[in-house]
């Protein structure tokens, strides 16, 4: 059993240790407060264990070095942005070449066509467009869906995350109303005007919500990953597809994270058949990117709409979308890095990471569990598997969460903040994984009776 007194005192010790180990990162963080809100360029960066982000001075493969000269095994990998590792050579070459040749023309390059063809081959959808983030790809897909269906609403699953898309930052109250998600900054309008929310895996609630035929598109990660990994129950995807078709609603599958499942994402692995498909992040090795694909039927309807609106895609896009350096990098990643061999090598290593955690769970008889998806593994501080976002939220334990993160960080391991998740990449070795196993065990041994 976890002893909370021990946990609290060891956590305090670890916080002190963090401060002793990181004087330069702390100094840089304090100095940054002069011009950066909260001392960081992106406010999420204060959410790392210790409340001070380590200041990165070097990286490569699966490691980072901070301003205090400490080297970390990086299992966060930019929360998927660097799932292919830091600076894989084919991507680095493409970036370097285009840094000299020119980066952005607002004109197509052959690499974009190559990428479109490759995305079509991998994921099965006919037409592709690009953006500078997966957030934007989701936004643009919503706009096309609304334009074609003439319906105002989107439907998302409770505690989902699809980037900072206004319509999706909504949750359910206990009485089933839709409200702005706690912590949402400056909600654009009352989200119940734009959004319906259902619990994941709840087929009856989904049908009830779609019945009114006012939903343009249902957006779903094929496995929830942003509130921890919550798998679909058997048959849920079949029902999701059946009901969206029955009520004339488009289905968007967002594989920005679940691309870790396999070469064609979860979609190919499980034979899903979405109308829209969104991905981003790692496809260009961490260069900002998003992409959205759609079926031929959607494409033909979109073309007709756009012709009628004369002129291409007013309001959908951005001058930096599909720029030359991003397209060249994506081509390099898809052709040479994110290959079948990537998954063949790294999924077994993720299994080893998972088994390492289970060794301690068994040894200390912990009421904890793990979830896995392809190259992604995470541990939970509960035994029972969450069936939906509410279960996942209710099982959170912030004391344990912060302690496990900072304990690992103080010993040279960076886990993904927000939950206890690791992503495995080709530059990770068995030794890296076994180091985590050892540190995880040591962290647990200090807080059990
Ligand atoms: C499922 C999903 N969709 C979209 C996004 C947004 O990606 P980006 O940060 O590139 O806008 C994220 C980010 O984590 C995500 O997890």
165's CB contacts (< 8 A; 6+ apart) are: 135, 138, 139, 142
Give the tens place of pLDDT for each residue, 391-401.
999 999 999 99
Residues 278 and 241 in one domain: yes
Range of the domain at 104: 89-337
- Find out whether 227 and 161 touch, Cβ atoms under 8 Å: yes
Q: Is the pLDDT of residue 47 over 60?
A: yes
Q: How far is the CA of 192 from the centre of ligand 1 (A)?
A: 22
Q: How far is the CA of 163 from the centre of ligand 1 (A)?
A: 4
Residues 284 and 393 in one domain: no
Residues 155 and 265 in one domain: yes
Give the tens place of pLDDT for each residue, 69-94.
999 999 999 999 999 999 999 999 99
Confidence at residue 312, expressed as pLDDT on a 0 to 100 scale: 53
Question: Measured between alpha carbons, how far is 324 from 230 in angstroms, rounded to an integer?
Answer: 37
Q: How far is the CA of 131 from the centre of ligand 1 (A)?
A: 12
Residues 221 and 320 in one domain: yes
Ligand 1 closest atom vs CA 290: 10
Question: Measured between alpha carbons, how far is 283 from 161 in angstroms, rounded to an integer?
Answer: 19
Confidence at residue 286, expressed as pLDDT on a 0 to 100 scale: 94
Q: How far is the CA of 190 from the centre of ligand 1 (A)?
A: 22
Ligand 1 pocket test: which of 132, 154, 161 has the largest number of ligand atoms within 8 Å of its C-beta? 161
CATH of the domain at 103: 3.40.640.10
**How many structural domains does the chain have?**
2
Confidence at residue 314, expressed as pLDDT on a 0 to 100 scale: 63
Ligand 1 pocket test: which of 130, 134, 277, 292 has the largest number of ligand atoms within 8 Å of its C-beta? 134
Q: How far is the CA of 1 from the centre of ligand 1 (A)?
A: 36
Quick check: CB of 226 below 6 Å from ligand 1? yes
Quick check: CB of 162 below 6 Å from ligand 1? yes
Quick check: CB of 134 below 6 Å from ligand 1? yes
Residue 180: other Cβ atoms inside 10 A: 19
Quick check: CB of 163 below 6 Å from ligand 1? yes
Ligand 1 closest atom vs CA 138: 4
Q: Whose CA is nearest to atom 11 of ligand 1?
A: 135
Residue 146, classed as helix, strand or coil, is helix
Residue appearing with tokens 């994941």 = 200
Residues 52 and 141 in one domain: no
Average pLDDT over residues 421-448: 98
Q: Is the pLDDT of residue 207 over 90?
A: yes
* Residue 317 banded pLDDT, cuts 50, 70, 90: confident
Residues 295 and 404 in one domain: no
Q: How far is the CA of 256 from the centre of ligand 1 (A)?
A: 6
Confidence at residue 309, expressed as pLDDT on a 0 to 100 scale: 66
Percent of the chain scoring above 70 in pLDDT: 98
Residues 188 and 261 in one domain: yes
Residues 148 and 203 in one domain: yes
DSSP letters, 158-211, are TT---SS-GGG-EEE-TTS-EEEPTT-SS-SS-GGGTEEEE-TT-HHHHHHHHT
Question: Measured between alpha carbons, how far is 227 from 318 in angstroms, rounded to an integer?
Answer: 30
Residues 373 and 333 in one domain: no
Residues 264 and 277 in one domain: yes
Q: Give pTM, 2 decimals.
A: 0.97
169's CB contacts (< 8 A; 6+ apart) are: 180, 181, 184, 187, 191
Domain final residue, candidates 337, 355, 380: 337
Domain final residue, candidates 337, 360, 392: 337
DSSP letters, 239-305, are HHHHHHHHTT-EEEEE-TTGGGG-TTHHHHHTT---SEEEEEGGGGTTSS-EEEEE-HHHHHHHHHH
Q: Is the pLDDT of residue 310 over 70?
A: no
Chain mean pLDDT for the chain = 96
Domain final residue, candidates 280, 304, 337: 337
Q: How far is the CA of 160 from the centre of ligand 1 (A)?
A: 11
Quick check: CB of 281 below 6 Å from ligand 1? yes
CATH of the domain at 36: 3.90.1150.10
Quick check: CB of 135 below 6 Å from ligand 1? yes
Q: How far is the CA of 330 from the centre of ligand 1 (A)?
A: 17
Q: Report CA-CA distances (Å) from 323 to 130, 174, 299.
A: 9, 45, 22
Residue 82, classed as helix, strand or coil, is coil
Ligand 1 closest atom vs CA 289: 10
Quick check: CB of 411 below 6 Å from ligand 1? no
Residue 362, classed as helix, strand or coil, is helix
Residues 101 and 247 in one domain: yes
Residues 9 and 77 in one domain: yes
Quick check: CB of 254 below 6 Å from ligand 1? yes
Quick check: CB of 168 below 6 Å from ligand 1? no
Residue 320, classed as helix, strand or coil, is coil
Q: How far is the CA of 350 from the centre of ligand 1 (A)?
A: 22
């Amino acid at each position: 059993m976890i002893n909370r007194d021990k946990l609290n005192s060891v956590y305090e010790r670890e916080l002190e240790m963090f401060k002793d180990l990181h004087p330069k990162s702390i100094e840089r963080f304090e100095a940054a407060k002069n011009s950066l809100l909260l001392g960081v360029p992106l406010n999420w960066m204060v959410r790392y264990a210790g409340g001070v982000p380590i200041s990165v001075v070097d990286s490569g493969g699966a490691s980072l070095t901070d301003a205090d000269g400490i080297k970390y095994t990086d299992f966060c990998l930019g929360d998927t942005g660097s799932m292919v590792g830091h600076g894989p050579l084919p991507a680095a070459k493409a970036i370097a070449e285009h840094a000299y040749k020119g980066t952005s023309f607002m004109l197509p390059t052959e690499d974009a066509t190559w990428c479109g063809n490759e995305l079509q081959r991998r994921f099965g959808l006919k037409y592709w467009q690009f953006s500078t983030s997966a957030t934007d790809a989701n936004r643009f897909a919503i706009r096309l869906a609304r334009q074609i269906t003439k319906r105002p609403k989107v439907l998302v699953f409770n505690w989902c995350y699809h980037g900072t898309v206004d319509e999706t930052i909504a949750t359910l109250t206990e009485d089933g109303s839709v409200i702005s998600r706690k912590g949402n900054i400056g909600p654009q309008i009352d989200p119940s005007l734009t959004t319906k929310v259902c619990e994941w895996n709840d087929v009856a609630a989904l049908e009830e919500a779609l019945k009114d035929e006012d939903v343009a598109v249902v957006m779903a990660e094929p496995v929830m990953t942003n509130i921890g990994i919550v798998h679909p129950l058997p048959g849920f995807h079949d029902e999701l597809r059946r009901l969206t078709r029955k009520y004339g609603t488009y289905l968007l599958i967002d594989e920005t994270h679940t691309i870790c499942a396999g070469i064609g994402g979860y979609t190919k692995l499980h034979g899903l058949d979405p109308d829209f498909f969104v991905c981003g992040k790692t496809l260009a090795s961490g260069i900002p990117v998003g992409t959205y694909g759609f079926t031929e039927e959607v494409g033909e309807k979109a073309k007709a709409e756009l012709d009628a609106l004369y002129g291409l895609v007013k309001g959908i896009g951005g001058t930096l979308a599909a720029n030359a350096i991003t397209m060249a990098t994506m081509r390099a990643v898809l052709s040479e890095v994110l290959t079948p061999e990537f998954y063949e090598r790294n999924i077994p290593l993720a299994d080893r990471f998972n088994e390492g955690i289970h060794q301690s769970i068994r040894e200390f008889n912990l009421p904890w569990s793990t979830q896995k998806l392809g190259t992604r593994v995470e541990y939970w501080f509960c035994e029972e598997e969450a069936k939906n976002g509410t279960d996942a939220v209710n099982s959170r334990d912030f004391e344990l969460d912060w302690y496990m993160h900072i304990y690992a960080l103080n010993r040279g391991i960076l886990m993904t903040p927000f939950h206890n998740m690791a992503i495995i990449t080709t530059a990770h070795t068995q030794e890296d994984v076994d180091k985590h196993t050892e540190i995880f065990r040591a962290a647990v041994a200090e807080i059990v009776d």
